[in-house]
Amino acid sequence: MEQEVREKPKLTPAQLKKRRNQRNAWLRAGIQAVFFFSMPGAFVAGFSGVKNIFQRIGAGQTLQWNSFVSALVGLCVFTVIFGRFFCGYVCAFGTLGDFVYWLSGLVQRKVFHRKKQLQIPAKLTPWGQKVKYVILAAIIALCAFGLYDRLSGWNPWSVFSFFMALRFRLSGYWPGLVLLLLIVTGMAFRERFFCQFLCPMGAVFALLPQMPFAPLQRKPEQCIPGCQACKRQCPVDIKLEPDGFLNGECIGSERCAGVCPKNNLTRWDRKLLRSEAAAALVKAALFFVLGVLLGLCRFITIR
């Protein structure tokens, strides 16, 4: 007697889209984990390039090409071509923020039985996003006037680097540790708190010009009136521009593209490869090669 073969029920388009988004979310988390452990110092290296340039300018010295400047230029060129992929997938601070925010939501749901996650009000976002530009300007001024190194103990990303290098001797860096703890607390109550409000490199990347094809683009006339699904999913609450281009505040997480009911958000690499997953993997591979060449990978050194 032949065993009757049961056909699997066909998934609806909505179910297929949900499954694809879940797969892409896991892929992004995997890429973030790889870079978190292989290149945790990429952010600090790029920031050190900014610091080095303005310290030399302030001291009246000739600018010199060094590893920090190379890291800064490499990050900026990659951003000009591919958008803020570094922020969305590579930066260790961004990955830490995503994990802390996810953990905060889990605790609030499971322990405190909150249906809606407690967080900093979204209405403060437009003003808060301007703070990182003030911080960048202040750092540049301190470097130019030769004062930055006197405040090295206040540097939270240096403390973070110590932890990632398993160095726990924080003598002289207690103010930086306090600031890092405050930042982590903010991460628990606002998605991408540091990236949106405090990151000086985020300010640099947001100010960079991008190739016309680099940002995510949409066709406003194809949007469903009043939809706003992409804006609700955006981790940094960016405003949708009427011309269809996403502004420099976009950190390249591409979560908005996954929830668009019209598939109306795309970028040149996604069109070329016909797959969000393939585009993310190709960019990750290219950045990994760039990081190795720039000496950012802690496991591979080119001599």
Over residues 79-126, the pLDDT tens digits come to 999 889 999 999 999 999 999 999 999 999 999 989 888 888 888 888
The residue-averaged pLDDT of 207-233 equals 83
pLDDT value of position 1: 43
Q: Which of 135, 51, 42, 137 is nearest to 93 (CA)?
A: 42
Q: Are 41 and 161 in contact (CB under 8 A)?
A: yes
- pLDDT tens per residue, range 117-175: 888 888 888 889 999 999 999 999 999 999 998 888 898 988 998 888 888 777 889 99
Distance between CA 282 and CA 273 in Å, rounded? 9
Summarize pLDDT for 169-190 with one digit per residue, the tens: 778 899 999 999 999 999 999 9
SS (H, E, C) 69-87: HHHHHHHHHHHHHHCCHHH
Give dist(CA 62, CA 39) in Å, integer: 30
- Using CA of residue 196, residue 197, residue 200, residue 206, what is the dihedral sign? positive
Confidence band for 16, pLDDT divided at 50, 70 and 90:
confident
| Residue 291 CA: distances (Å) to CA of 82, 238, 257, 295 | 15, 28, 27, 6
- The C-alpha atoms of residue 201 and residue 178 are separated, in whole angstroms, by 21
